Amino acid sequence: MRDLLAARSQMAMSLAFHIIFAVVGIGMPLLMVVAEWQWRRRGDRVFLELAQRWAKGTAILFAVGAVSGTVLSFELGLLWPGFMTQAGAIIGMPFSLEGFAFFTEAIFLGIYFYGWDRISPRAHLAAGVVVAVSGALSGIFVVIANAWMNAPTGFDLVNGRPVNVDPIAAMLNPAAFPETLHMTLAAYAATSFAVAGIHALRLLREPGNGFHRRALRVALWAGAPAALLLPLSGDLNARHVAQWQSVKLAAMEGQFKTERGAPLRIGGWPDEMAGETRYALGIPRGLSLLAFHDPSAEVRGLEAFPRENWPPVAPVHLGFQIMVGLGSFMALVAAWALALMARGRDLVGHRWLLRALVAAAPMGFICVEAGWVVTEVGRQPWVIQGVLRTADAVTPMPGLVVPFVTFTLLYCVLGVIVAWLLYQQVLRSPTSAGAAMPASTRYGEVG
């Protein structure tokens, strides 16, 4: 394996692993806080059980997210020292702000997990709110840094070196708003749909279980609106990409030829050699309409760009198709569930809705992974769009396949253990013994 490919694979694998925990770190605190708030408001102890279980799940996932995020911050330099030399002074600002947001999240998570009987109810709920807000903020800051890689602003390039550096202008890059909005909504939708799906599965077997009923409602109220909004924020992103990264848009759509009134392709397999996308279902003028809101707008195809500036077309197109396809399904299910809930219907009677929710459970996370493939692979061969090539940023360290394989194995093992622990600790139906366990036994002591 070539070192550049190994470095890219290690970065991709580290991001793909960490993003799951990062998304959960944004989404779960919201669910946890809503459940605790419901308990305080209604005095319904089932909501307390729910909040504590979700907190426990968050504790496990947050710890793994914290350490895998640390690995990423080092990997920026371990794998891409050329990138950090150029970019550090320009986009270090959002990373520094993220540092503080993450600090706040870690501090108040500690207070939340271990503080059930140490602080007042009001302070405890407030700690949960701080966790939810700072978790969302840390995600936003990191995505701003990524957005800058897609739309680099805030410096002038003189003789290949950045001068006149303006970190504020870099943070306000044009990709920042669409990307952060889309990712934050995605975090709420992915987490909530995963939770909703798990409880829907339980309700198919035990329709009368009040624990799962309440869990499903909280998850849907938190996640369904986000799932409905995601196609809109996605549209914002697509139009931004069309304007700023037209080669990425061409790869996303499998658009090889430059044409007016370009069709929207559904499915299909882009063949880079032949220069065409086969087996796709084309909606006439659809792409021009969506990307530029004009059915006869000209869409630049891959042929308009030098071959060495093409991203790998097939994974980008496939990733985009998966994200849009599964995301659309989630939006439909969300609309269905919200329509029923708004009319005060009992969701558990609608067994097909429950089945659809079970099917949708993993989709949010698949969409997140696919979306990051589109963003990151679609930016290749650049690490900073149009400024620095990935190949010029990689470390001179040889044998990079070794750390790649090592971290892959490490993360596989951790993933299996986390899944098993979540099943043991969070997902099983509560038993009467479990419900009677006081909070101090559950959270106050360790091991």
Identify which of residues 312 and 444 has a Cβ nearer to another protein in the complex: 444
Examine residue 349 and tell whether it contacts another protein (CB under 8 A): no
Examine residue 305 and tell whether it contacts another protein (CB under 8 A): no
Identify which of residues 131 and 218 has a Cβ nearer to another protein in the complex: 131
Radius of gyration of the chain (CA): 23
Q: Is 335 helix (H, G, I), strand (E, B) or coil?
A: helix
- Residue among 11, 19, 64, 218 that touches another protein (CB under 8 A): 64
Distance, in Å, from the CA atom of 284 to the CA atom of 428, rounded to the nearest integer, reads 49
CB of 432 to another protein, least distance (A): 16
Identify which of residues 100 and 293 has a Cβ nearer to another protein in the complex: 100
Under a CB-based contact definition with an 8 Å cutoff, are residues 139 and 182 in contact?
no
The DSSP element (H or E) to which 389 belongs, if any, is strand 388-389
- Residue among 1, 2, 5, 73 that touches another protein (CB under 8 A): 73
Site for another protein in 244-273 (CB under 8 A): none
Identify which of residues 97 and 251 has a Cβ nearer to another protein in the complex: 97
CB of 64 to another protein, least distance (A): 6
CB of 168 to another protein, least distance (A): 7
Query: 277 pairs with which residues across the strands?
Result: 270
- Residue among 63, 304, 340, 341 that touches another protein (CB under 8 A): 63
- Residue among 38, 86, 245, 246 that touches another protein (CB under 8 A): 86
How many CB atoms sit inside 10 A of residue 294's CB? 12
Task: Choose one: 67-75, 266-274, 341-349, 377-385; the region binding another protein (CB under 8 A).
Answer: 67-75
Identify which of residues 335 and 439 has a Cβ nearer to another protein in the complex: 439
Site for another protein in 372-431 (CB under 8 A): 395-399, 403, 406-407, 410, 414, 417, 420-421, 424-425
Site for another protein in 92-151 (CB under 8 A): 92-93, 95-100, 102-104, 106-111, 113-115, 117-119
Phi and psi at 142, nearest 5°, equal -65, -40
Distance, in Å, from the CA atom of 95 to the CA atom of 109, rounded to the nearest integer, reads 20
Q: Is 172 helix (H, G, I), strand (E, B) or coil?
A: coil
Q: What is the DSSP letter of 68?
A: H
- Residue among 15, 32, 53, 56 that touches another protein (CB under 8 A): 56
Identify which of residues 165 and 232 has a Cβ nearer to another protein in the complex: 165
- Residue among 4, 60, 204, 304 that touches another protein (CB under 8 A): 60
Distance, in Å, from the CA atom of 429 to the CA atom of 431, rounded to the nearest integer, reads 6
Under a CB-based contact definition with an 8 Å cutoff, are residues 395 and 78 in contact?
yes
In the chain, the amino acid numbered 412 is C
CB of 385 to another protein, least distance (A): 19
The DSSP element (H or E) to which 161 belongs, if any, is strand 161-163
Residue 164 to residues 86, 145, 154, 157, 285: CA-CA distances in angstroms? 13, 18, 8, 9, 42
Identify which of residues 147 and 318 has a Cβ nearer to another protein in the complex: 147
Nearest-10 Cα torsion for 334, 340, 345, 346: -30
- Record the tokens describing residue 92, joined without a space: 């270090």
- Residue among 1, 2, 45, 88 that touches another protein (CB under 8 A): 88
Examine residue 67 and tell whether it contacts another protein (CB under 8 A): yes
CB of 387 to another protein, least distance (A): 15
CB of 138 to another protein, least distance (A): 10
Residue 160 to residues 166, 299, 386, 387, 446: CA-CA distances in angstroms? 17, 30, 11, 8, 54
Phi and psi at 283, nearest 5°, equal -100, 110
Examine residue 77 and tell whether it contacts another protein (CB under 8 A): yes
The tally of CA atoms less than 13 A away on the side-chain side of residue 229 is 17
Site for another protein in 166-195 (CB under 8 A): 166-168
Task: Choose one: 161-169, 178-186, 189-197, 309-317; the region binding another protein (CB under 8 A).
Answer: 161-169
Distance, in Å, from the CA atom of 150 to the CA atom of 246, rounded to the nearest integer, reads 11
Task: Choose one: 274-282, 328-336, 337-345, 437-445; the region binding another protein (CB under 8 A).
Answer: 437-445
